[in-house]
Amino acid sequence: MMPPSDLPYRLEVSRADLAQALKIIARVVAKSPGCASFRFENGCLSIEAGTTGADAPARGTWPLPIYVGASWIRRLAKRMPAGDPVYLRVDARRLYANRYSEPCAWTPRAELPPNEPVKIDESLLVLEAARILKPLLVRKSHLEDLVSETRARVTTSWSEEEKKMVSIIANAWVLLASLGVEASDIRRFVSEARARGTASWSEEERKMISIVANAWVLLAPLGVDTADIRRLVDDAVRNAWK
């Protein structure tokens, strides 16, 4: 069984888009107690309460629906956190919008008592995966058979650190799949790099990864590697202090 804490939940949503979606839902839950659900599919965050739903474009990973008390929707709609985009994440059974958080659950409830343990089993993971894959004509029974076959074939399991990297590996696979790369290849590469003790980026350098990556996309056809850009940045920072 994979406990909820091992599932990565993190979305990046435009402040304006999220505010608009919350405003729609807040009107519905203003006079009705209960829960609202947060789902993510095909690049879209869907917030639902009762028979009303509102969508907002988003990026990230959100494996299963998350339920939060209706009061959270009303309060967040009235006072959106500072910053754009807004980062939604789940940590220790709490749903965060930047720094603001309240208790959440993996099952709908009329009210969500704070810090109440929530259990989730593998059948729920399979059920949600079947919902996501339904447009591709994949049935729940197909996934159950696949899970059984995989367990019989695979003798190694994901480490705790690898589970935390699921969203990163998934995003990398989206970019590399058309080149014949599998997620297992990326996972193996990461494991091998760590085993070799390859030097890693410092916390400060990690902040520059997206900048370096964007520059590399432009310069790669000219033979420039990311290591070259990193060296160039290091030299520029060092010379700036002379």
- 162-186 tens-digit pLDDT: 666 776 777 777 777 777 888 888 8
Based on the fold, state whether residues 100 and 8 are members of the same structural domain.
yes
Is residue 232 a part of any domain in this protein?
yes
Is residue 10 a part of any domain in this protein?
yes
124 DSSP assignment: H
Instruction: Report the predicted TM-score, pTM, of the whole model to 2 decimal places.
Output: 0.48
Based on the fold, state whether residues 214 and 133 are members of the same structural domain.
no
Query: What is the β-pairing status of strands 35-41 and 66-69?
Result: antiparallel
What whole-number distance in Å separates Cα of residue 43 and Cα of residue 56?
Answer: 9
Based on the fold, state whether residues 196 and 208 are members of the same structural domain.
no
- 118-159 tens-digit pLDDT: 444 566 667 767 777 777 788 888 888 877 877 777 666 666
Is residue 233 a part of any domain in this protein?
yes
Based on the fold, state whether residues 13 and 73 are members of the same structural domain.
yes
pLDDT higher than threshold 50 for residue 108: yes
What whole-number distance in Å separates Cα of residue 48 and Cα of residue 28?
Answer: 10
Q: Which domain holds residue 145?
A: 121-155
- Confidence label for 5 from pLDDT (cuts 50, 70 and 90): very low
Query: What is the β-pairing status of strands 35-41 and 44-49?
Result: antiparallel
